[in-house]
Amino acid sequence: MTISMRKTALIAALPLVLGLAACNKSDEGKAAGPVAAVAPPAGKAWVDVIAKTADGAGVVMGNPNAAVKIVEYGSLSCPHCAVLTREMMPALTSNYVASGKVSYEFRSFAIHPQDIPLTVLARCGAPDTFFGLVEQVYANFDALAASTEKGLEQAKAAQGLPAAQRYPALADALGYTEFFASRGLPVDEQKKCLANMAAAEAVAKESEAISAKGIDSTPTVFINDKKVDGNDWKAVEAALKAAGA
């Protein structure tokens, strides 16, 4: 289904919605010559080379100078994004990123209010913990969705709290604090990240910028700046191969 952005609502009132994100289509890359593999830095594997983008809105895994660059715009509350990640990541990392031919960038598109605390928490640790946390969110998608629904009433009460208390209380209500703590992100560190309103505002502003580009569904995947015609792993891999990976 097509997704309309909620701009100021993401930061202000935070009326939690449980509507689930869907997907859409568009263009695809044209066939290219084969790309040569690139050796990783000494003592490292490309899948362990992870860094934030210059604007801080994305996180990149792999060779920063890879000839083939994937950018995914995904929502951490989108079931189709969860399916794509579960299907894609094992093959993408082992067959493509590990070769140095391909880099993979994830940009969070906050289409539902719960995406804001989820994104802030996924970014809360060092960059090299980001993809593992995102994969955990998607691997446990149904359980997190159930936790979100169960905590809705308590979450609504959190909306009336002062700004610095709102997101920590929201994360507690929806079960996110416990979820991320059990995956190595200390509670005190979570609270600090969630109390930083600048981090939450950045997620909302980044999402507004994504929407302004005409991207209105998740997951949306680009390969070398060309939109992939489809949003499942079969379509993404076909576009990768067409790009020479």
Q: Is residue 233 part of a domain?
A: yes
Number of domains in the chain: 1
Q: Is residue 9 part of a domain?
A: no
Per-residue pLDDT of the chain in tens (245 residues, 90 and over written 9): 344 334 334 433 444 443 333 433 333 334 578 999 999 999 999 999 999 999 999 999 999 999 999 999 999 999 999 999 999 999 999 999 999 999 999 999 999 999 999 999 999 999 999 999 999 999 999 999 999 999 999 999 998 999 899 999 999 999 999 999 999 999 999 999 999 999 999 999 999 999 999 999 999 999 999 999 999 999 999 999 999 99
Q: Is residue 1 part of a domain?
A: no
Q: Is residue 11 part of a domain?
A: no
Cβ 49 vs Cβ 63: under 8 Å:
yes
- Strand-pair partners of 70: 104, 223
Q: Is residue 16 part of a domain?
A: no
| Domain range for 125 | 21-42+50-242
Q: What is the bridge-based pairing of β-strands 68-74 and 50-52?
A: unpaired
Q: Is residue 56 part of a domain?
A: yes
Between CA 77 and CA 21 the distance in angstroms is 7
Q: Is residue 181 part of a domain?
A: yes
Closest CA relative to residue 217, chosen from 11, 22, 14? 22
Can you tell me whether residue 102 is helix, strand or coil?
A: strand
Q: For residue 119, what is the domain's CATH number?
A: 3.40.30.10
Q: Is residue 5 part of a domain?
A: no
User: Which two tokens mark 73?
Assistant: 């715009």
